[in-house]
A and B are shown apart, each in its own frame.
Chain A
Amino acid sequence: MTWEVVIGLEIHAQLTTKTKIFSGSPIAYGAEPNTQANLLDLGMPGQLPVLNKAVIPKAIQFGLAIGADIGRRSIFDRKNYFYPDLPKGYQTSQFSFPIVDKGGVVEIEVDGETKKIGVTRAHLEEDAGKSLHDAFPGQTGIDLNRAGTPLLEIVSEPDMRSAKEAVAYAKKVHELVQYLGICDGNMQEGSFRVDSNVSIHKPGTPFGTRAELKNINSFKFIEQAIEIEIDRQIEILESGGKVVQETRLYDADKNETRSMREKEEANDYRYFPCPDLLPVVVAQADIDAIQAEMPELPDAKRARFVSQFELSEYDAAFLAGSRATADYFEAVVALTKAPKISANWVMGELSKSLNQHDLTIDASPVTAAQLAGLINRIQDGTISGKMAKQVFDAIWSGEGDADTIIAAKGLQQITDVGAIEALVDEVIANHTDQVTAYQNGQEKMFGFFVGQVMKASKGQANPAQVNQLLKQKLQNP
């Protein structure tokens, strides 16, 4: 019988607030060390935590998005352990009564099959500081700027059976928290951190001992780390050894995991209710108000893009990939009433240019209204697709909107049949040899005539009309 893989994830999502969860210190990323650490964050005696109002609705939004029960009365507990970047000696967290309780489900799709992953709970807690081990010989430098940063820890059920499923789930949660606007999702800066609990067992037997893979900052590395951890455990068990419960670090350069420390048993943290913080009570009316303000979620948006705009699944997934992209696309469609061509421009020329300049769509130099203006001029035949690219580049460089640029550059497409006919006649008259060749069966010559007419019109003749007239005239000379 083969081994079955069992994976559960703990995801720490940093909540988008201005200040810490229990103090009024700022949480700007990349500040000078310890300039955002006040007496409370330093763990000085006599300081009292006061909960930041902003974190509660953010946690509830997440709970509602995954269909979980909301903890109407949630309690902060102390999780006790010693480490220098946690000067109080305990992390303020939630244990028995989390704000997002059981019942949550995240649906993933792997290899065309959908699967529901259970979310056990999601609780509010404070982040620890950072330890710098290499800067000073024989000493560790401590930066407490991050201490007290608000986190939502999202704990899944051990429902995943492969590294692929684990990554699909992590990506889904990543997309969700960004859609809700409760976390910026920046993995490089540690705003979204994934810890994976991995074990293997034979089906029908109890779960095996798990190892925890911590702080891996890309989806690609999460998948690799889980894959090699599975191999490591299979090797140990098949050679008669035992897996020990521990935290392992992933080394991307060597593509291996190595032991960091033995994981303390849960009760070793000696959780108890924090006497400095009172229960957080949430009224049903507050939950209803948050529910009423919930944005459309990614799955619903994708489905709507397919049904309302008749887009392909692929296009819908791309355009609904982030709220910013979806909002931009919808703003364009509202002005063009032409979903397919709008989708093509957002996914094509716009995305290409944004990538080239390493810009996000929020910072696009071409606004949705400007792109819509351009698309409308293609739709009404004023400009050809080829001219449109030229106009797009001009809008990108700040030369104004489509109409201004078309007028300034004299880019109007020639659609007057008489004018195009005159050009076609001229080209046919000047290339009698090629006409004879074409009429003797060299059909490839047709492209030559199109090229000549377009050249004569300085690229401004409507290509469809040119094609049609050429065909008529060459076949019936």
Chain B
Amino acid sequence: MSLQKTEVDAIARLAGISVDPAEGEQLTAKLSNVLAIFQQMQAIDTNGIEPMAHPLDQVQRLREDCITETNHREAYQSLAPKAENGLYLVPQVID
């Protein structure tokens, strides 16, 4: 199974990664190789095998519904590039 350049561009866009056009061809070939490994795995008969969601064979621990966190807004916002009136500011997002 080999990928097309256009598919790699689409994946890059979804992942928010900018891919240098010069690198594009090489990346497409590399990713196709990775997919070839998956293809080998897909040849294995997995009928009757329960899908594994997590490598740890344990169940989720739960937390009581109690407030444990307090307000540290000023400290956190001092780390942000921009904050005003209690809001984090980011470049304009148009819907």
Contacts and interface: CB of A to CB of B under 8 A. Distances in A.
Contacts of A34: 73, 76-77, 86-88
Interface stretch (A20-28, A190-198, A402-410, A444-452): A20-28
Nearest to B90: A84
Given A51-B60, A270-B14, A279-B60, A18 B65 contact: yes
Contacts of B78: none
A346 B73 CA distance: 48
A261 B95 contact: yes
Interface residues of A, number: 56
A303 B52 CA distance: 46
A451 to B, nearest CB: 63
A42 interface: yes
Nearest to A82: B16
Interface string B28-49: 0000000000000000000000
A260 interface: yes
Contacts of A260: 95
B73 to A, nearest CB: 5
B92 A273 contact: no
Q: Which of B56, B68, B84, B89 has the most CB of A within 10 A?
A: B89
Interface stretch (A128-136, A223-231, A412-420): A128-136
**Chain B at the A interface: mostly helix, strand, loop or mixed?**
loop
B90 A140 contact: yes
A427 interface: no
Contact of B82 (A82, A83, A139): A139
Nearest to B10: A268
Given A278-B59, A280-B59, A26 B69 contact: yes
Interface in B65-84: 65-69, 71-73, 76-77, 82, 84
Contacts of A54: 65
Interface in A58-95: 75, 80-84, 89
B86 A33 contact: yes
Contacts of B64: 53
Interface stretch (A141-149, A162-170, A380-388): A141-149
Contact of B85 (A81, A89, A141, A249): A141
Given A33-B85, A132-B87, A141-B89, A50 B73 contact: no
B76 A19 contact: no
B90 A139 contact: yes
Given A54-B65, A133-B95, A279-B54, A141 B84 contact: yes
Contacts of B61: 50-51, 278
Nearest to A39: B76
A80 B16 CA distance: 11
A70 to B, nearest CB: 15
Contacts of A96: 51
A348 to B, nearest CB: 40
Contact of A25 (B56, B69, B82, B91): B69
A81 B53 CA distance: 21
A359 interface: no
A136 B84 contact: yes
5 contacts: A26-B67, A50-B61, A133-B94, A278-B60, A278-B61
Given A139-B92, A273-B53, 15 more contacts: A24-B68, A34-B86, A34-B88, A35-B73, A35-B86, A52-B63, A54-B65, A96-B51, A97-B53, A133-B94, A136-B89, A140-B89, A261-B95, A278-B61, A279-B59
